[in-house]
Structure 1
């Protein structure tokens, strides 16, 4: 073999070696770059960001959306490799996904494969009226408004409760929802929750209550809810109203009168309002009002079903959120003079 041939082969081997080293270097660099991509946080500027993956979206579509939103600048190949590595390619669910600060591409694909869509919370507040509830639902973020144009009766029909008046029928609680859920979905869940609550608590009620049905308990609980926000007073106030019902006394509860005044109530109640008859005026009509006057929470319902015993028939607000209770009209009048008219002895 000539020296020239040997030299040529050596040169060729050197070129091949250089090429192989270059390829190895490129692969090593690419792998490090890929590993850095999969473990580095996405470009999420602040909490509250999300990505909405539509039905039928491919991984390519999702990556394009991430790039368009400026959340990722990585090349689509890296996303494909990561999806294959995680074995989630073709298994990404549609929906809205939260993008938290510090979230990596690995985290995001894992959430999409598990269908861990972004959940929001809607809280029904104890003591709201049904009107308050509907107004709050109309402002809820990313909640579809299927019932916005319906009147109350049509809403009740939509949630399969057409024979019921809506007031008081929805349990105050926090309900999680996802994008695509509607106001009617939350109303149906809250209505079902209240029904289950009453079904559980009604059989456990104190005996000899002058309440014929669970609905009567709901009405009384709504009055208790509006009369006080203090947990320690609910059973006592419920006891006052129970004894009034038992002795056929008028309930004489201002919140019920206010409810019956509707939009004419301007923040103050006058003596003339107490004598103007409405179905909800418990100064002019005996017994319970025809419907609840608000949405009572569980504590108020429990108080209505388990009122405090005693002889108290009256109470008056102190002005600090608490009440003074009394058993006789004379004592009550003295309390009114002291705490309402500021004529304490």
Structure 2
């Protein structure tokens, strides 16, 4: 081969190489443009958003596979490139993917751990059995019902108390996917112990209570006797004075609690005479356990009852109560209430 021929062949190779470089650069530029467009394009999710549950150990590829089944995106090379260029440790949990979310937004959301928070409310005045029923009705908090039984739940949550009544603070609690009813009960129990300890340390020193548990018991009675916030301290005051005077408390909610499933919604005279450990018409002092879950306001009112001279109270037919100093005054208030109910007032 002549020198000219070699130069000619060399030029062909150079041209070919340059052409290949140009082609590859064009392909790369096109691919990069596609990738940039992919990053700017929102996922195809409904206007209301898409709930995405990430299990422990999932990686971005598995998440994208699920999104593809929902029609939100295509699981192709662009996601794999994003995973290489933006490596992320995604968190487990339940995430809301709102409309307008772009691929990089999704990765950042999964990495941040901004999971969906649900709410569960423990209602003031619920019995423990009401709480257990409500927890079992929430399938995402599901546990073996036997673990929530009254004779098992305190051991289940690792509590030292034997009886669950009264020991869970009425509040609204946030929970996330993966939490169980046991997790929520542990938090509510800890919250009640803290709230009770705070009120006990700040109690009226003249309150006729010998322990924080007695405060919890009496607060549960106050909780069941009135839903009127302004009356709680007055009701607590009546009970405190009756305890100090060694009178029976004579409060219907304790009788109802003692009747258990026998209570049909209507308390009768014979019920007031049927002796149980919770019948405060037949027994002196406090019942052996709380009768409900008292809220913070009932705890505070019981720890610091209102001063006064009233020893009796009865419903006024309008949601509140009439307070009386003497039995004679109380009997008049009772007759007025009965007349009002008979008249349909």
| SS of structure 2 residue aligned to 1:152 | coil
Distance 1:325 1:182, change over 3 A: same
- CA contact under 8 A between 2:68 and 2:75: conserved in structure 1? no
- CA contact under 8 A between 1:280 and 1:290: conserved in structure 2? yes
Name the residue aligned to 2:46: 45
Name the residue aligned to 2:63: 62
Distance 1:136 1:57, change over 3 A: same
Name the residue aligned to 1:82: 82
Q: In the TM superposition, what whole-angstrom CA distance separates every residue of 1:117-170 from its partner, at most 9, and x where no partner exists?
A: 322221111111100000111122421414545532221111122542110001
CA–CA distance in 1 between the matches of 2:300 and 2:160? 27
Distance 1:244 1:41, change over 3 A: farther
Distance 1:333 1:115, change over 3 A: same
Q: In the TM superposition, what whole-angstrom CA distance separates every residue of 1:295-335 from its partner, at most 9, and x where no partner exists?
A: 00111000000100000111111222111111111111111
Q: In the TM superposition, what whole-angstrom CA distance separates every residue of 1:235-260 from its partner, at most 9, and x where no partner exists?
A: 01110110110111111111111111
Distance 1:341 1:271, change over 3 A: farther
Corresponding residue to 1:203 among 201, 204, 208: 201
Name the residue aligned to 1:165: 163
CA–CA distance in 2 between the matches of 1:286 and 1:33? 82
Are residue 114 (structure 1) and residue 112 (structure 2) matched?
A: yes
| SS of structure 2 residue aligned to 1:200 | helix
Name the residue aligned to 1:212: 210
Q: In the TM superposition, what whole-angstrom CA distance separates every residue of 1:61-118 from its partner, at most 9, and x where no partner exists?
A: 2211111122x22343222333444442xx1223322233333332321121122232
CA–CA distance in 2 between the matches of 1:274 and 1:174? 35
CA–CA distance in 1 between the matches of 2:42 and 2:130? 42
Q: In the TM superposition, what whole-angstrom CA distance separates every residue of 1:204-223 from its partner, at most 9, and x where no partner exists?
A: 10011110000000011001
Distance 1:320 1:47, change over 3 A: farther
CA–CA distance in 2 between the matches of 1:304 and 1:30? 72
| SS of structure 2 residue aligned to 1:316 | strand
CA–CA distance in 2 between the matches of 1:206 and 1:39? 64
TM normalised by structure 1 equals 0.87
CA–CA distance in 2 between the matches of 1:141 and 1:67? 27
Distance 1:327 1:39, change over 3 A: farther
Name the residue aligned to 2:94: 96
Equivalences for residues 162-241 of structure 1 within 5 A: 162-241=160-239
Name the residue aligned to 1:340: 338
- CA contact under 8 A between 2:147 and 2:156: conserved in structure 1? no
Are residue 301 (structure 1) and residue 302 (structure 2) matched?
A: no
Corresponding residue to 1:246 among 238, 244, 247: 244
Name the residue aligned to 1:3: none
| SS of structure 2 residue aligned to 1:50 | strand
CA–CA distance in 2 between the matches of 1:99 and 1:326? 60
Aligned residues: 334
| SS of structure 2 residue aligned to 1:98 | strand
| SS of structure 1 residue aligned to 2:294 | coil
CA–CA distance in 1 between the matches of 2:50 and 2:263? 42
Distance 1:74 1:23, change over 3 A: farther
User: Which sections of structure 2, spanning at least 5 residues, go unmatched?
Assistant: 1-7
- CA contact under 8 A between 1:146 and 1:184: conserved in structure 2? no
